[in-house]
Structure 1
Amino acid sequence: MFDSATSQIRMQRSHGAAQVVMGPRGLIDLSQRGSAKAMLPRMTAGLPEIVFLNTSGGLASGDSLSFAVDLRPGTRAVATTQTAERAYRAQQGPARAKVALSVGAGGWLDWLPQETILYDGARLERETTVTLAPDAGCLLLEILVLGRLAMGERPQRLQLRDRRIVRRGGRVVHHDSLALDDAALTRLSGPALLNGARAVATLAMVAPHAPDLLTPARAVLDEPGVTAAASAPPGRLVLRMLADDGWPLRRQINRLLRVLRPDPLPRIWQV
């Protein structure tokens, strides 16, 4: 007879890695294993699209997921995810996710993943690294939603370590980190943190011309229900947005993307 009190159940873990290498004429190499997949929809206009997918449906304790894009010199592309990523309640150690992006000389990459939803009790460690050639550029988006808003969930326990690092010529030119834990959750209503918001997004452009877009970007930061601000350090444009719900935040981001990039939005990004 099965004794649940004395038997240990070994949970199956999900591991996946997908990498896409592209040149000016298209796909050079594609590798994928486990739960990570990459798709390249046929495009008739705009940048070539790379769409990543986690077939496991989310990240739980002990899972690992890796996405990578390597754009060779002279290549421009946009990479995104097919749907929102979910970080589930973790019984033991954290789930780990890595994103590695490389852009060759004269290239450009838009990294526009859809939102990450952090369930109550989630534990997630994630790192996004970007390596740029001296004259390459990128646009980076990150969206976090705290809890399942449709269910009225407000996380009481959480552990998040999230870093985005951009290097050009071996030198760090952009470093953005966010850490949340159980203690921080009790202070999220303070103005120094999220001011009570449950959805937060950061959009960063790293390119010599990025500061020139500060004025047009600020001109569209007026979506109802969204609090936003923009700054333009040398060689960068950084925008931060807060909202009580993911939908107004999504609308605000879509408006910004139309200002910051000349190409059509990815089809899955239409609202």
Structure 2
Amino acid sequence: MTAFETSPDAPPPIESGHRFDADRRWAASLDLAFAPRDGVTRMTRCRHLGPLRVQRPFHPEGRHAEGRPGACHAYLLHPPGGLVSGDALTITARVEPGAHALLTTPAANKLYRADSHGVAWRQHTRLEVADQGVLEWLPQETLAFDGSRGEQCTTIALGETSRCLGWEVMALGRPASALPFQSGRIEQRFHLTRNGRPLWLERQPLDPRHPRFVGRWGQGGASVQATLWAVGLEDAAGAVDALREGLPEGPHWAVTVRHGVLLLRYLGAERNEAWQLCCLAWSILRPRLLGQPAHTPRIWLT
């Protein structure tokens, strides 16, 4: 055997990450920072490892009329288009004082069926917003295939005067193809703090074998769910009233405020309905939160 050959039965070196057994782990990370520069928000740090990138930043809103730095729109790209067994994605972003960042994705994220070893994937996101900073976290929806196994954790750390608006939309299975989510397990965790004080802590296991998945007291058999949050509203009660007046009536959504966090929930069976509900709610809330109308990222229209 030459120096460039290995036994066909030998696994690749552990440090490469390219294993095909139960210990596989393929890591990718993206570390971003945003700060005000020359009247707009600039992306001042972009470090990546593996298949995670940022398309060049955009400034479609220009400078704010009141002199505040204009928003920086950044699209987070994951070229594989989805997560498979062993994938470990880590996304961190920091918004500096006075900056305004809007982060989104160019397409839906897919969570594929686990391999024969049942190896899970992981996606951890940590978002930090300093005082007077603004962050909009608006990823396109996540599609979980039957048999997917993994953990999705979102941590948001706000300063005393930070503002944040975001959402997560999850569709389970592929009902249109008669492939419901009937095996696997996905765990979602949300941690939102202000100055280190917890405002919203949540853990949600999505396991079709558990009674809560079909029970009326839990998932109720719904295949689509969404959560939208907003922090920093001056009149949270008025924002709730505006949503109740401006959103289409129906049994699949509700809105409330707890510890200064506005939470809008959707639980139903229509992915497009959930997405449109979140977009409409964003258009109602953004002027109240930021004093600016909603500006649709152009990537959503392609």
TM-score, normalization by structure 2: 0.81
Query: Which of 93, 101, 125 in structure 2 is aligned with 1:99?
Result: 125
Query: Which of 150, 173, 176 in structure 2 is aligned with 1:147?
Result: 173
Q: Is the 8 A contact 1:107 1:137 kept in 2?
A: yes
1:270 is displaced (CA, Å) by: 4.7
2:72 and 2:126 map into 1 onto residues whose CA distance is 18
Q: Is residue 279 of structure 2 the alignment partner of residue 264 of structure 1?
A: no
> Are residues 121 and 34 of structure 1, via their aligned partners in 2, closer, same or farther at CA, if it must alter by over 3 Å?
same
Q: Is the 8 A contact 2:58 2:74 kept in 1?
A: no
Equivalent residue, structure 1, for 2:50: 34
Equivalent residue, structure 1, for 2:209: 183
1:168 and 1:144 map into 2 onto residues whose CA distance is 26
1:104 and 1:189 map into 2 onto residues whose CA distance is 41
Equivalent residue, structure 2, for 1:23: 35
Q: Is residue 222 of structure 2 the alignment partner of residue 197 of structure 1?
A: yes
Q: Is the 8 A contact 1:230 1:240 kept in 2?
A: yes
> Are residues 125 and 8 of structure 1, via their aligned partners in 2, closer, same or farther at CA, if it must alter by over 3 Å?
farther
Q: Is the 8 A contact 2:167 2:278 kept in 1?
A: no
1:161 and 1:211 map into 2 onto residues whose CA distance is 31
TM-score, normalization by structure 1: 0.89
1:13-72 alpha-carbon deviations (Å, 9 max, x no partner): 542111211101212111112011122442231621121111122111111111111111
2:237 and 2:191 map into 1 onto residues whose CA distance is 19
Q: Is residue 85 of structure 2 the alignment partner of residue 61 of structure 1?
A: yes
- Paired AA for residue 72 in structure 2: P
Equivalent residue, structure 2, for 1:138: 164
Equivalent residue, structure 1, for 2:252: 227
Q: SS in structure 1 opposite 2:187?
A: strand
Q: Is the 8 A contact 1:79 1:110 kept in 2?
A: yes
2:226 and 2:28 map into 1 onto residues whose CA distance is 25
Equivalent residue, structure 1, for 2:239: 213
1:177 is displaced (CA, Å) by: 2.2
Equivalent residue, structure 2, for 1:43: 59
Equivalent residue, structure 2, for 1:119: 145
2:179 and 2:214 map into 1 onto residues whose CA distance is 16
Which structure is larger by alpha-carbon Rg, 1 or 2? 2
Q: Is the 8 A contact 1:131 1:167 kept in 2?
A: yes
1:149 is displaced (CA, Å) by: 3.4
Equivalent residue, structure 1, for 2:5: none
Equivalent residue, structure 1, for 2:4: none
Q: SS in structure 1 opposite 2:164?
A: strand
Equivalent residue, structure 1, for 2:104: 80
Q: Is the 8 A contact 2:208 2:214 kept in 1?
A: no
1:182 is displaced (CA, Å) by: 3.7
1:178 and 1:265 map into 2 onto residues whose CA distance is 30
Q: SS in structure 1 opposite 2:82?
A: coil
1:140 is displaced (CA, Å) by: 2.1
2:54 and 2:300 map into 1 onto residues whose CA distance is 17
Q: Is residue 269 of structure 2 the alignment partner of residue 248 of structure 1?
A: no
Percentage identity across aligned positions? 31
Give the length in aligned residue pairs: 263
Compare 205-214 and 100-109 and name the one that shifted more: 205-214
Q: SS in structure 2 opposite 1:259?
A: helix
- Paired AA for residue 49 in structure 1: H
- Paired AA for residue 54 in structure 2: A
1:177 and 1:265 map into 2 onto residues whose CA distance is 30
1:189 is displaced (CA, Å) by: 3.6
